[in-house]
Every structure is written in C-alpha cells, then in structure tokens.
Structure 1
Amino acid sequence: MAVDDAFDLNSPAEVAKALDDTGYLPDDGIATAAFLAMRMRRPLLCEGEPGTGKTALAQALATALGVDLIRLQCHEGIDAAQALYDWDFPRQLLHLRTLEAAAGGELDAESAESSLYTRRFLLARPLLRALQESPCVLLVDEIDRADDEFEAFLLEVLSEYAVTIPEFGVVSAAQPPIVVLTSNRTREVHDALKRRCLYHWLEHPDLEREVAILRRRLPGLDERLAEQVAATVQRMRQMDLLKPPGVAEALDWAQALQALGQDELDTETAATTLGAVLKYREDAERVRAAGVLTAER
C-alpha cells in the first residue's frame, strides 16, 4: 500500500483491514484511533499495561503502509543529543587533517570550519531521521521513562516537525511522520504533551480475541491448546502478580508448548513451562499455590 493512499483511507474499517493483513488484530477502538491519527496528522499516545500491543501497533502500521519504522527507545536520562543528532568528531578530525595536508599548512580557518558541519558528518538519531526520511512511522517507546525536560523538548519537535541545528540550519519534514508514543504509565505524561496527541488506552484482549491472536501468530497451533493457554493467562491477569503476562508472554508459552508437541495444556507440562509466561519466582509460586494450573479447563 502506498503511503499517500494510506492517508486517504476512508474509514477505521479500512485501517483495521490493513492492520489485520499484517497479523495484528485490532479492536474497533485501536482501528479508529489509528485512522484519526493518520487523517488528522496528530501523534497517537497509547497507554496501557505492558504486553497490550502498544509497540506492536506501531510496527504493524509501518508494515501495513510499507514504510520504515524508526524507533526511539526512551530511558531515564535520555537527552536531546541522543534523540536528535550528533557530529561525527573522528571523521571531522580526519577531514581537517586532510585539508591541512592538502593546503601545506596554509589552511583558511573559516572555510575549513564550514566544511566540517555538513550532512556528510551529521549523525542522525531517531528524531532527525524521522524528519529527514518521512513518510515513516516514528515510535517513541516508553515516553514515561524519560524526564520532564526531554518531554518538553519532544513536544516542541512534534509541534513543528522541524528542528534547528545551529551549525547546519533548519531540518523539517516534507510530510509529517506518523507518530506513535507509548507509555506504561510508570508516571503521568504531562498535559501539554497529551493535548498535542490523540489518546488511546489499550486493554488486554478478551478471551476470544486472544485466542484469535495466538492462532494468527502461530500457524498450526491447535485450537484447543490456544483456548487453554488464553484462558489460563487471563486467570493469571486477575491475580495480584508482580508482572502479569501480556500477549507476548502468552505467545511465548503457546510456542513453547507447540515446540514440545503438545496439543493440550496438562498440569505437568504447564508447570514445567511456566517460565515462558511468568518472569518472577514469586509470581510462579503464587500461581501454583492458587491452583490456576490445575483448574478445570
């Protein structure tokens, strides 16, 4: 699908079909939010528990539209330089020495300096790449892990889809990228950024949709096994666990059982493969003690 056509999709149903063709099964809310983000050229802020498909949505959009996915992974202490650009100092130094050698020591300082700050020596980080390479999908992953200063900087970039590099000039996107921001809500994202974005909260899928996701992502998975895995994972999510399993963990568990040749989730195999779905010893002990693995299926 061409990107120009993608912006002219006529309904959320067409977006849902495009995402479905990539293997991502959206509900009506996700399809509508993605459609509006593309039609209105607004960033889409997706919040929800880990494993609800926030990052996968951006990946599916890029695949559906046939454009690159550019990912900015946020973390504590990330700053503008890490997200935007840097200069390739070793290559600049080598270039300067080459100029000096060629000039026989008669180097013009002004012209030498201007030659150092060109696109040739500019190291584009994810935000600058998105502006230069758009149309693309820009994924700003886990924005809640960044600090207030970086959030304010990001808001400025997303407001204009342009940045000024002092030594180089203004870089602006010919076409605004499709921007998906994700947050696990470890802290509240500021109102100013939320106002710039469209917002969607992603829930874990219901049983029927999770079964469909498992069978779509794992061709050949027995329907009975998919139903048992999904039902058991959904019961785990209702418990007070340190890290409730997401769809990714459900897929890992089903794949592990499939690799063992299982067509049914029996108690013994469930117990021995629990590390595929639960990542904390305390959670595994809590699930075993609650009898979740021996519950009637």
Structure 2
Amino acid sequence: MSPTTAFDSPEALTEALAAENYVIDPEFAVVVHLATALERPLLLEGPAGVGKTELASSLAAASGRRLVRLQCYEGLDDGRALYEWDYGKQLMHVQMLRDRIGELLSGTTTMAEASARLQTEDTGLYTEHFLSTRPLLEAVLSPDPVVLLVDEVDRTEESMEALLLEVLAEQQVTVPEIGTFTARSIPWVVLTSNDTRELSPALKRRCLHFAVGFPTPERETEIVSRRAPQVAPEVVTDVVELAHLLRGFPLRKSPSISEVIDAARAAAVLGLRSAGELEKVRPALLSALLKYGSDRELAVRRLDDDEPGPGIVPTAGSDRPDTAASTTAGAFGAGRAASTGSRAAADRNRRGGRR
C-alpha cells in the first residue's frame, strides 16, 4: 500500500492490521477507516492497557507510514511539543558573520547609522535551518505522510490542548519568527486518553471519537494467541478467563492486554501445557497481572473463596473490607459486564446464605 492512500474499506483495514497482529472489532475498524479516509483526527478514550497506543503503532506499520509520537505528561510545554531554536547553531552562525558584519559597518560614523544598516540586512538567524523540530512540527514538516500519535493527552494541562487545535483543525503550525508552516503531507492523527480528566469540547469537536474497552474473552484469546503463539491454546483460554475474572473485582488497576500476554508466556515458561493446571501457578501469574499490593491481597482473598477450575465465579465469605474501586477499571465493555455479573453473583450467594 502506498503511504499516501487510505484503506479501501474497513475489511481491508482489518486485514492489514491483522497482518501486524492487531485484532480489531468491526465497529472500531469502521471508525478507524473513516478517520483515515476523511483525514480526521481520531480520539480514543478508555482504560489503560486496552490497545489504544498499539493501534497507532500498528496503523503506521500497516500503512507504510512513519510513526511520530508525542508522549504527553504534566508540565509539557510548546518547546517539547512544537519546536525549539537551536541556539548553538545560531551562535556559530553569528561568529561566522562577525567578519562580514565588520565589513558591512565600515564607513559608518555613528551607532544609529550602524544600527540602521544592520536592520536592512537579513542575518538568517531565524530560519527553518535553525529549528529543532518536536513531534507536532515534525509531523507537519514531513514530506512523507506519517501517523502522529498524541499519547495520553489527558495528562497535560488544558493549555496544551490549545496548542493542538491548530494542528488538528488546520494541519499547520505557526512559528512567530518565521510564519505559518502548512502540512506538506496530511498526517493521520491518533490521540489517546485514559480518562483521568475531561477533555475540552473544542478538542473533541475536531476529532472522531471512539471509546475503547477491554475485548471480549473470545477476541482477547485471539489477541493473546497471536502475540504468544508458543502457549498452548487451552492455557491461553484459562489465563484470559482469569484476567476477566480479576477485572470484575474492584481493583486499583485492572490487568491490561499486554499483562495478560505476559501472564500467558509466564504460564508456558512454568510448564503449563493443558487446561486446568492454572491453579498451581496462580500466585506467579498474579505477579504478572496485578501491580498493586492491595489488588493482589484482594484477588487472593476472593479467589481463595472460589470454586476450583479455570472458569471461576466469585462467592461470598470474605469478612475483610475490599479496597476502593478504580476510576477506570471495568468502565467499558466486557470489564463493566464482568464487574456487574460478579457483584450480582455475590449478592445472590449472600441472599442464599441468609435463607
């Protein structure tokens, strides 16, 4: 595929991403296809670890475009996002001009005359040659089409969103000392947000939007099998079921897809080859799936009260208080359904116990 063209259809996009081992839902594929065809920025919101960043990387690989990434963080400013002046190069340029300036000013008798003569000359200090480009300007100046990833945009201050608007709406960047640079090729822009804060309506208005949630067990099994082909299918199924069970608990951080892949690989390293063996290595797998001590304690408590077997349904019986629920975990898709189903099952068991 030429890097200057969009995909012919959502199905073609799905096949191209599958070749990069990225499994995409049909509805999601339609939105990504529209973003590339219409050359509109795509804003992906959802919990961490559901494949938002990976989508941009896979899209770049599938389309033959270079990936340009702006990693957002608190305190990010225009010098890190847009451009900076290379003062070292400018200083060298001034030193080379020093002798010429002496020749230019020869014959002047007053400071005012010398200053007036200098102002008529272009010293060339503020040109594109002396710009140190950062991701936003780099994407605009690139002669070849790129995929611009603005990752975790919700981690920046709202003032940074204003800098993005010119790039998103006009595909251009203004440098006051030089002027406006218009995109030499239209970048495909992907913005990601983990929902840590509400983004401004002005930013959202300029983007297509999609809420990305955790995949269904069937689709996640396919994803893990592609990324960890050395793991037995039965073991992959058990690890995925364990991850979906954990996402139904009120954790500070639910297991991401990449952590499920790590857990599947760990299971293979530990010698698991068939279904039903997960119980004996579960403590080790929890180290790959859970990253907070409180989450691990909660999971161990809940799982120890469960029925044996890979497909576990949590039961009542713990008298210790649970940790506070994450603000994002289980907020989308299957995570929410699993959480609701787990709480409902626990409530039914408790009611049955009181009878």
TM-score tier (shorter): over 0.9
**Given the alignment, which residue of 128, 134, 137 partners 1:128?**
137
Q: Structure 1 261/107 Cα, relative in aligned 2: closer, same or farther at 3 Å?
A: farther
Larger Rg: 2
2:12 counterpart residue number:
14
Check the 8 A contact 1:99/1:107 in 2, yes or no: no
Which residue of structure 2 aligns with residue 282 of structure 1? 294
Matches of 1:166 and 1:235, distance apart in 2: 54
TM-score after normalising by structure 2: 0.78
Tell me, yes or no, if structure 1 residue 214 matches structure 2 residue 224. yes
- 5+ residue gaps in structure 1? none
1:1-297 matches, within 5 Å, as 1-5=1-5, 7=6, 9-100=7-98, 102-103=99-100, 105-106=102-103, 109-110=118-119, 114-133=123-142, 134-264=144-274, 265-291=277-303, 295-297=308-310
**Paired AA for residue 165 in structure 2:** L
Q: C-alpha deviations, 1:18-47, integer Å up to 9, x for none? A: 111111000012111110001111101000
Aligned length: 294
Task: Measure the CA separation in 1 of the matches of 2:196 and 2:136.
Answer: 23
CA distance 1:286–1:94, shift in 2 (3 Å) = same
User: Residue in 1 aligned with 2:349?
Assistant: none
Shift, 1:254, TM fit: 1.3
Which stretch of structure 1 is more off in the superposition, 138-147 or 251-260?
A: 251-260
SS of structure 1 residue aligned to 2:259 = helix
Cα deviations by residue, 1:137-171 (Å, 9 ceiling, x for unpaired): 00011111111111122112211111221222221
TM superposition shift of 1:86: 0.4
Mapped to 2, the partners of 1:196 and 1:103 lie a distance apart of: 49
Does structure 2 conserve the Cα–Cα contact (< 8 Å) formed by 1:143 and 1:182? yes
What is the distance in 2 between the residues matched to 1:122 and 1:170? 13
Distance, in Å, in 1 between the alignment partners of 2:224 and 2:79 is 40
Q: CA deviation at 1:112?
A: 7.8
Q: Give the aligned CA root-mean-square deviation in angstroms.
A: 1.9
Task: Give the superposition deviation at 1:238.
Answer: 0.5
Structure 1 position 97, deviation (Å):
1.8
Give the counterpart letter for 1:75 in structure 2: Y
Q: Give the CA deviation at 1:113.
A: 6.2
User: Do the aligned partners of residues 128 and 224 (structure 1) sit closer, same or farther apart at CA in structure 2, a change above 3 Å counting?
Assistant: same
Alpha-carbon distance in 2 for matches of 1:183, 1:111? 49
1:154-206 per-residue CA deviation (whole Å, 9 max, x = no partner) reads 11221111122122222111332100010111111111111111010111011
Percent of aligned pairs sharing the same letter: 41
Q: Is the 8 A contact 2:238 2:278 kept in 1?
A: no
CA contact (8 A) 1:46 1:201 kept: yes
Q: CA deviation at 1:107?
A: 6.2
TM-score by length of 1: 0.93
Letter in 2 for 1:282: S
Matches of 2:161 and 2:218, distance apart in 1: 37
Of 263-272 and 61-70, deviating more is 263-272
User: Is the 2:45–2:210 Cα contact (8 Å) retained in structure 1?
Assistant: yes
> Distance between the aligned counterparts of 2:92 and 2:13, measured in 1?
49
Q: Aligned AA for 1:285?
A: E
- CA shift in 2, pair 1:70/1:228, >3 Å: same
Whole-angstrom distance in 2 between the partners of 1:279 and 1:136: 34
Distance in 2 (alpha carbons) for counterparts of 1:225 and 1:46: 31
Matched residues in 1 for 2:178 and 2:104: separation? 22
Moved more, 254-263 or 86-95: 254-263
Amino acid at match of 1:44: L
- Give the partner amino acid of 2:233: E
- Partners in 2 of 1:266 and 1:20 — Cα distance? 29
